[in-house]
Amino acid sequence: MGRALRAIDLTQSDITDATLFALAKHCPHLEEVKLSCCSEITDVGIEALVRHCRRLRALDLNNCALITDRGVGMLGVYGQQLERLNLSWCMNITDKSVVDVASGCEHLREMLLVWCTQLTDASIDAFVPDTDSTAEAAARAKGLKLNVSGCKGLSEAHIENAREKGLEIVTGA
């Protein structure tokens, strides 16, 4: 089963980094991993997973309390195939995480950042093409949906500017 496994849902399980190491070693073809509410996993386990599961297209880390910028930063380095990423309720991530994902995950189509309370306008700016950007960067922004509901550090002006440049941004329930 291991090498053929493409998706796994471990939501609300008592797994640890050891489980993620095993998945990384034995299931390198994983494309979708749900780890929502797994309170014992850390950046070390996430790094192992994304280093070895290079086909990962969807990752759900909703409410994984121990995940920080270090682990999310690895997604920007090794998670180039990511299309969907849920970091909602990950209270230890900052703009650095979002910037790392924006710069490294060029196939990203949807990112959930609900109640990531440390985020500021810099997180929105990471996805907004500037005036010197290529047509490719502008097209990529138009295909991206961000959910930033509950992110109180974001200004309405930045959100509106990003929407004008083609980003789909959800700010409410």
Return the pLDDT at 129: 78
Domain tally for the chain? 1
Residue 131 structural domain: 2-170
Cβ 113 vs Cβ 119: under 8 Å: yes
CATH number for the domain harbouring residue 151: 3.80.10.10
Return the pLDDT at 125: 94
Return the pLDDT at 133: 58
Instruction: State the pTM of this model.
Output: 0.93
Higher pLDDT residue, 9 or 135? 9
As a whole number of angstroms, the distance between CA 55 and CA 78 comes to 10
Return the pLDDT at 135: 59
Cβ 79 vs Cβ 53: under 8 Å: no
Which residue type, as a one-letter code, is found at position 34?
Answer: K
Mean pLDDT of the region 128-141: 64
Mean pLDDT of the region 137-143: 66
